Chain A
Amino acid sequence: MVNKNYQLDEIDKSLINQYQGGIPICQNPYALMGEELGIGEKDVIERIENLLTQGILSRAGPMYNPEYLGGSLSLAAMIVPDDIYDTIASKVNAYPEISQNYQRQHILNMWFVIACDDKTSTKEVIEKIETETGLKIYNMPKIREYFVGLYLKV
């Protein structure tokens, strides 16, 4: 799905750098972006669609705290033995509530984000995964947010 060899041109880079922080909220946002980038609306639309297809972008749309919709978000980790690591990763990833999962260098070596809507709870997902894998989950929901400004210049 993801094209790791895809080469961004200068306009792609400007588009990503300028609009990661926000697509304009107006009737024709891509036309406005085009004006600012010096290209046409159609070109903006094609570029974003292409970047999504290439897997450079994972999404375009609103970013918000799911708690506002009755959902929840948590960070969790497990200690997974090396010999069963990939099997456990597949089992964990199979849950639609797992939005991200990373292997990290630590005894706690699998770290994932559990994003629930209002129909499921973090607790239920954790219990299911613990039962299925036989491993303990360390659940670390946010207590306080000091900063979120993930902005990656290309």
Chain B
Amino acid sequence: MALDDINHQILTVMENGLDICHNPYAKIAKAVNIDEKILLQRLQKMLDDGILKRMGIVVRHHELGYNANAMIVWDIPDDMIENIATSIAVEGFITLCYQRPRQLPDWPYNLFCMIHGSKRDEVILQKDDMIKRLGLDNINHQILFSTRRLKQTGAKYGK
């Protein structure tokens, strides 16, 4: 879906975030030179259309005790990826699930999902239980825990 000029301007103006003040949207409307009511309608429409994922507050997960941040990667036959990815994605503890290109020969994995947990052994149990329930025993996978956060900016973009 393409953005029209006004929506493009709105997102550009909002790149640095939403002000924390009495009427934050009025400020944006002024910068884009449209009526605040129109701005609110446009933002809602972008949310409904999935252009905006959310107008959210972004937490820094380590600070909240989410220290067991695991990336689980799977080597799934191409003709099975849609079915398997869909079944993994609906597991309650999965926070992200993406198909990405394999990097053969070094990296055969094509599905990446994340579990943000507070303890490693709990995350491993969740993963093992999921493998059993979904019948993924024959799918080659690896779990990569993060050992150190090297950078997390207040990124401009969603993840």
Q: Which residues does A use to contact B, with CB under 8 Å?
A: 2-4, 6, 8, 15-16, 19-31, 41, 45, 48-49, 51-52, 54-66, 68-69, 71, 73, 75, 77, 89, 92-93, 98-108, 110-113, 115, 117, 138, 140-152, 154
Chain B interface size band reads 35 or more
B22 touches A62 (CB 8 A): no
Query: CB-CB < 8 A to A146: which residues of B?
Result: 85-86, 88-89, 97-99
Select which of B106, B145, B158 is within 8 A of A138 by beta carbon: B106
Cβ contacts under 8 Å, B97 to chain A: 145-148
Minimum distance in angstroms from B74 CB to a CB of chain A = 12
Is there contact, CB below 8 Å, between B22 and A100?
no
Asked if B47 lies at the interface with its beta carbon under 8 angstroms from chain A, I say yes
In the complex, the chain B residue whose C-beta lies closest to that of A149 is B95
Knowing A25-B43, A93-B151, A106-B142 are in contact, say whether A62-B52 is a contact too (CB < 8 A): yes
Total contacts A-B at CB 8 Å: 258
Would B63 and A55 count as touching, CB distance under 8 A? yes
In whole angstroms, how far apart are the Cα atoms of A57 and B47 in the complex?
22
Residues of B12-38 at the interface with A, using a CB-CB cut-off of 8 Å, are 12, 14, 16-18, 20-26, 36
Binds A, one of B53-61, B121-129, B130-138: B53-61
* 29 contacts across the A-B interface (CB closer than 8 A): A16-B64, A21-B56, A24-B55, A25-B44, A27-B25, A52-B20, A58-B59, A60-B17, A63-B58, A64-B46, A64-B157, A71-B157, A75-B100, A99-B159, A104-B71, A106-B144, A107-B106, A111-B71, A115-B155, A117-B156, A138-B107, A143-B98, A143-B99, A144-B85, A144-B99, A146-B88, A146-B89, A150-B159, A154-B65
